[in-house]
Structure 1
Amino acid sequence: MRFDNTCVAILGGNSGIGLAAARQFAAEGARLALTGRNPQTLHDAAEELGALAVRADMGDVEQTRAALAEIEQVLGGIDVLFVNAGVGGFAMVPEVTETFWDDIHTVNLRGAFFAIQNALPLMRDGGAIVITGSIGSLAAVPGNVAYAAAKAGLRAMARIVAKELLPRRIRVNLISPGPTETEIFKRDASPEQIAGMREMLSAVVPIGRMGTAEEVASAALFLASREASFINGVDLYVDGGCLELG
């Protein structure tokens, strides 16, 4: 198994892509630590997988720092860090408020950067960092300006971190999902709205459907594994061809 005796910390591991990745890492022998904001889904995921669960909001740097310290204390050094936590939100340019902008950037960019910074002293040399980006960082989608800017900043940050960590042989890569079946797009929506959203999103994917959380998670596992030992600083599009073929 690819992750036997490997400590994997997943920030945002209690739902969606993070939970799908947690299940796959566990199936391949990893010792898991999960963080998340929702105590119930975090508890459920930890029970299912036998993982260490630490409640933390990635938008709060101190909470993340404390969570990482607990992970290191309980499980030892971190071999793989999967920075998956994030928030979304749509608003056209005239409707973007400072609060809206800051809420998205505080988690998706600021929180992600300081999570990585605080994890570095706890990571073993030769490890891997995988970050969840988005094709939104490149696609000019109306209403997506705040989210796209945060994910574009994340992409730029990751490439510099990858260069700086070369002496420690810690690889840093992104996965950028396209339209994906997760709970986020279903939240607070009726079955009819969900069906309509699914149809609309599937229509923009050249492969003809939305991706699954498991498909995106598999890409994260690949980049974290020794199979990707010669891959560093990439942004891997897991998008059914949206950017390449659209």
Structure 2
Amino acid sequence: MKNFENKVVVITGGNSGIGYATAKEFKDAGAQVIITGKRADALDASAATLGVKGVLADQSKLTDIDKLVTEVGNTVGKVDVLFINAGVAFFMPIAHTSEEQFDTMMDVNFKGSFFTLQKFLAILNDGASVVFLASGNTALNMPNSSVYSASKSAMSHLAKIAAKELAPRKIRVNTVNPGPTETEMQGKFGMDDATLKSMRDMIIGQVPLAKMGTPNDVAKLVAYLSDNTTSSFITGAEFFIDGGMAL
């Protein structure tokens, strides 16, 4: 079904993983999709494969966000769906977390998300949908995830306040909290293959449904929350898509 025909969708971090799957979901539903990424080669390849527009932008840099908003406004005008998806993760004990790791996670996950929303407000249509990608970690107290979990929890609280502030414009703001999901990001945790496999097996053992999620699972939820025909009365909500891990 072409539920998003004539709609403009912007997805940050859309060149891989959940962002890529969500871009495909919206594209297949008829939307005009714009994705961002900070690796030019990966962004160009993904944009070409999907048949969407790619814009080089680093969510941690306010100047990049300004350029993104200007380019989107100049090329397609108003935006109907904003999926703030870009994120970064390092899993380290508090004792060994560096200032650089702390700043990177906070700058991308929280500061970048905050200012992406702020700067897009001028070109969001009234009645638009904003979805933040947070994390199932916001409901867990997992060792080695202190800064990551804090950055995503801050984002979740931001979304609730934004839902109230933007309600007069009928802009709905919701948060999706994935649990363990098979994405490219897992290869960026700085662990070797054996450690990653061990971590994966341990995590699956904590999931009641005994499996990992997929990017497509999350993409379909984001699309549902962005469709005014299916979710017009949903705002300020958090949706855990984690196989029951947070129970």
Report the more deviating stretch, 228-237 or 194-203: 194-203
Partner of 1:60: 61
Quote the residue 1:218 is aligned against: 220
Q: TM-score, normalised by structure 2?
A: 0.95
Q: 2:245 aligns to what? A: 242
1:24 alignment partner AA: E
Query: What are the superposed Cα offsets for residues 87-130 of structure 1, whole Å, 9 maximum, x if unpaired?
Result: 00012112223322111100000000000000000110001000
Q: Is the 8 A contact 1:84 1:131 kept in 2?
A: yes
Aligned residue pairs total: 244
Using the alignment, how far apart are the partners of 1:193 and 1:151 within structure 2?
A: 24
Partner of 2:232: 229
Distance 2:69 2:36 in 1: 9
Mapping 1:155-170, distance limit 5 Å: 155-170=156-171
Dislocated runs of 4+, deviation >6 Å: none
In the alignment, the residues of structure 1 paired with residue 193 and residue 144 of structure 2 have an alpha-carbon distance, to the nearest angstrom, of 23
- Per-residue CA deviations over 1:188-216 (Å, capped at 9, x if unaligned) read 66554443333222111110001001101
Offset of residue 50 of structure 1: 1.9
In the TM superposition, what whole-angstrom CA distance separates every residue of 1:75-94 from its partner, at most 9, and x where no partner exists?
Answer: 12111000000000012112
Structure 2 vs 1, CA of residues 96 and 191 (structure 1 numbering), >3 Å: closer, same or farther?
closer
Kindly provide the CA deviation profile for residues 59-90 of structure 1, in whole angstroms up to 9, marking residues without a partner as x.
00110111121012111211100000000001
Equivalent position of 1:134 in the other structure? 135
The 5 A counterparts of 1:126-205 are: 126-187=127-188, 191-205=193-207
CA RMSD of superposed structures (Å): 1.3
Contact 1:52–1:71, Cα closer than 8 Å, also in 2:
no
TM-score normalised by structure 1 residue count:
0.95
Structure 2 gap segments, 5+ residues each: none
- Greater alpha carbon shift after TM alignment, 203-212 vs 43-52: 43-52
Residue 137 of structure 1 deviates from its aligned partner by 1.5
> What is the CA-CA distance between 1:41 and the residue it aligns to?
1.5
**Identity %, equivalent residues:** 37
2:174 is paired with a residue whose SS is strand
Distance in 2 of aligned mates of 1:140 and 1:198? 17
**Which ranges in structure 1 are unaligned for 5 or more consecutive residues?**
none
Distance (whole Å) between structure 1 residues aligned to residue 20 and residue 195 of structure 2: 24
What is the CA-CA distance between 1:232 and the residue it aligns to? 0.3
Structure 2 counterpart of 1:213, one-letter code:
P
Q: Secondary structure at the match of 1:140?
A: coil
